[in-house]
Amino acid sequence: MHLPGGGRRLQVRCHRVARCAKNASPPYATPAELAAAITTTPATTLARRPAADAWAPVEVVCHLRDLEESFHDRLTAILATDEPRFATTNPNRWAEDRQYLRHDAHDAVRAFVRRRTETLMLLRGLAADAWSRAGWQLDSRGRRTVDEFLTLMAWHDENHLAQLARALVGRA
């Protein structure tokens, strides 16, 4: 993904973060990887769960889309407010309540790409001290800085890209 206006500092930070997140791909690489993973996959395969307790590929993609929305909202709040507090998310409940299996995976990828681009643009021009601004997750994760959220994004992307790859071949 090309970062408009350069974004070299963010690219360097993303690469450093990716190395810290156990060699995960940088967060700006995920949109292309996600689109490539499902581009030729039939809708029936995208909606097939590899096991009763595992997500189908479309559910993984919808989860990434919705978590990106959450990441963006949290980062925006952290940058605008001192130490905001965030409610706990429940991804399994989201998958059920939002009926991920009924969604179009390609639409979900497009929505993810749009929001990820906005998230990276938000981070692109941050001053050095802004990376240490933080918010509180009201669960066991506690306080997280902007820099830690970027690390979490890289890990989260890598985790779910691997899950998606397994689901596409019918493995949980």
pLDDT digits (tens, 9 = 90+) for 117-167: 999 999 888 898 999 999 998 877 789 999 999 988 989 999 999 999 999
The count of structural domains within the chain is 1
d(CA 160, CA 170): 15
Q: Is residue 96 part of a domain?
A: yes
- Cα 154 to Cα 9, 16, 46, 59: the distances in Å are 16, 10, 23, 19
d(CA 112, CA 116): 6
Domain that holds residue 27: 8-168
Residue 22 has pLDDT above 80, yes or no: no
> Domain containing 143 — which CATH number?
1.20.120.450
Q: Is residue 161 part of a domain?
A: yes
Average pLDDT in the 74-84 region?
Answer: 97
d(CA 36, CA 74): 28
Total-model pTM: 0.86
Q: Is residue 3 part of a domain?
A: no
d(CA 105, CA 86): 27
**Positive or negative: CA dihedral 167, 57, 35, 31:** negative
Q: Is residue 2 part of a domain?
A: no
Collapsed DSSP state (helix, strand, coil) of residue 135: strand
Q: 130: how many CB neighbours lie within 10 A of its CB?
A: 14
Q: Write out the H or E segment, with its range, that includes residue 145.
A: strand 142-145
Q: Is residue 16 part of a domain?
A: yes
Residue 99 has pLDDT above 60, yes or no: yes
- Cα 151 to Cα 8, 27, 54, 66, 122: the distances in Å are 17, 9, 25, 18, 16
Collapsed DSSP state (helix, strand, coil) of residue 60: helix
Q: Is residue 1 part of a domain?
A: no
Q: Is residue 116 part of a domain?
A: yes
User: Which pLDDT tens digit goes with each residue over 58-72?
Assistant: 999 999 999 999 999
- Cα 136 to Cα 94, 142, 149: the distances in Å are 21, 5, 11
d(CA 106, CA 39): 8
